[in-house]
Amino acid sequence: MSDLLVQGGRLFDPVSRVDGIGDLLIKDGQVAAVGEAVSVEAEVLGARGLLVVPGLLDMHVHLREPGQEHKETIASGTRAAAMGGFTAVACEPNTSPPRDTAERVAEVIETAKREAAIRVLPKCAITVGQEGSEVTDFAALRAAGAAAASDDGFSVRDAGVMRDALAAAKQTRMPLTLHVDGPEMVERDIGLAAELGWGVHFSHVSLAAEVELIAEARERGLPVSGEATPHHLALCADDAPMGDANFKMNPPLRSAGDRDALRTALVEGVICAIASDHAPHAPDEKARPFEEAPPGVIGLETTVGVIWTDLVHTGLLAERAAVRAMTAGPQEVLGMVGGSVSPALRIGARGDVTLLDPDHEWTVEPERFESKARNCPFAGRRLRGRAVATIVAGRAVMREGSILAPGAIE
C-alpha cells in the first residue's frame, strides 16, 4: 500500500474542527499527518483550491444485486458512488431475494471485495422476506456484517412485530433505518422507541408533519434521527413535468411548504443526514406510462452538485452543515464513530477522503453516468459543485471524472 500526500487543499472537517489550508498524509490506509507541510516520499495529489473532507457516506442506496442486475450491480453502483465523491454506501436489502439471512449478507460482502470501487455496508431486512410478519435473526445478521436493518420500501405495519424488532435491535446493537410512510407511522415508531429504549432513524423524510414529530422527539431527548434526499430538498411537486416518470419516486415530491420545512430541519440539525435513496431502474421500465413505471430516481452522481447549487451557494445551508450531513451525520446513525473505523481528518482515522470543487460548473448528462440507470430528475440542469477525487484507504479510485483501476479495499 503506497503513501498518499494530499497537498495544499483546504482541510475541512466540522467534527474534528479542522479548517485551514494544509497537507494531509495517508500512510498504510490511515491518516498520518494533518495540516503541517509534509515532506515525504509519497504519491502527491494536488488539492489547491479544493475542499478536502472526510470521505462522504451515503447511507441509503439501492444496488439491486442480486436479482435485478439489469438495473444496477454492486460494480456499477459503486463506480457511480465514487464518481459522486462517496467512499462508502449502505445498501438497502430489497433485492431479489431480500437480504434476510446471514448468508445473503455475506454474499454481498464477498462480491464487494471483488468488484466494488468503494466500501459497501450491507443492510439486512427487518422482517423475513420483508413481509412484516417475523423479525429476522438480528444476531446472526449482525455477526455476518450487517450495518443496519431496514425493510425499505415497506413499513412494518404490525406494532407487535415492530416492538419485537426494537427489542432485538437493542440486544444486538443493530441500527434501525425505517421506511417513512406518513406521520402516523412516525409517531407510532417514536413511541415504541421511547418504550423500548432504542433509537430509530427515519429514511427519506418528506413531510413537514414528519419533521415536527422528529423534532419534538429529539427535544424530549429520545434517540431519534432522520434523513432527507437531495430531490426532496431541491424539488417540490410543482417542479415535476406532467407524466414524466423520472420525477416519480417513493415518497413522492411534496409541496413547496414541505420542501422548505425539510430545508429548515436540515439547517437546525433535526435532519442529520443527506442520503440519495439512489433507486436505479432500466430505461425501458421508466419509459412506461407514468402510472405503470416503477418509482425511484438515481442520485449518487448528482448529490454534491444539487446540494451545493440549491442550498449552499444560495446561502440556505452552511458549508459546514452540508459536509456534516454527508459524513459525521450518517456515521453516527450507523455507529461508525471513534477509533479508526470512520473517516476523519485526524491522525489515526481511516484514510477515506473526498476532494470537492465547490465552484466546478457542469451539466447533468445521465447518458454519461457510471450507473446503469438514467432515471434522473436533474437531467440537463447546470450545477455548481462536484467531487473531483475519491480516496479510499489512501488510494484514489476517482480523479477528475475518471474511475481508476479498483483494488482490494482493506
Task: Just list the catalytic residues.
Answer: 277
Q: Do residues 254 and 207 lie in contact, with contact meaning Cβ atoms separated by under 8 Å?
A: yes
Q: Do residues 352 and 326 lie in contact, with contact meaning Cβ atoms separated by under 8 Å?
A: no
CA separation for the pair 388, 361 (Å, rounded): 12
The three cell numbers locating residue 88? 462508502
Q: Do residues 39 and 25 lie in contact, with contact meaning Cβ atoms separated by under 8 Å?
A: no
Task: Classify residue 260 as exposed, middle or buried by CB count within 10 Å of its CB (0-12, 13-18, 19+).
Answer: middle
Cα within 13 Å of Cα(75), Cβ side: 8
Provide the 3-class DSSP secondary structure of residue 45: strand
CA separation for the pair 78, 18 (Å, rounded): 28
224: phi then psi, degrees, rounded to nearest 5: -125, 140
What is the side-by-side strand order in the sheet with 119-124? 56-61, 86-91, 119-124, 148-149
CA separation for the pair 401, 177 (Å, rounded): 32
CA separation for the pair 48, 71 (Å, rounded): 38
- How many other CB atoms are there within 10 angstroms of residue 67's CB atom? 12
The three cell numbers locating residue 202? 427515519
CA separation for the pair 164, 162 (Å, rounded): 5
What is the β-pairing status of strands 86-91 and 56-61?
Answer: parallel
The three cell numbers locating residue 387? 467531487
DSSP state at residue 394: T
User: Which residue, 178, 182, 260, is CA-closest to 225?
Assistant: 178
User: Which residue, 206, 203, 226, is CA-closest to 214?
Assistant: 226
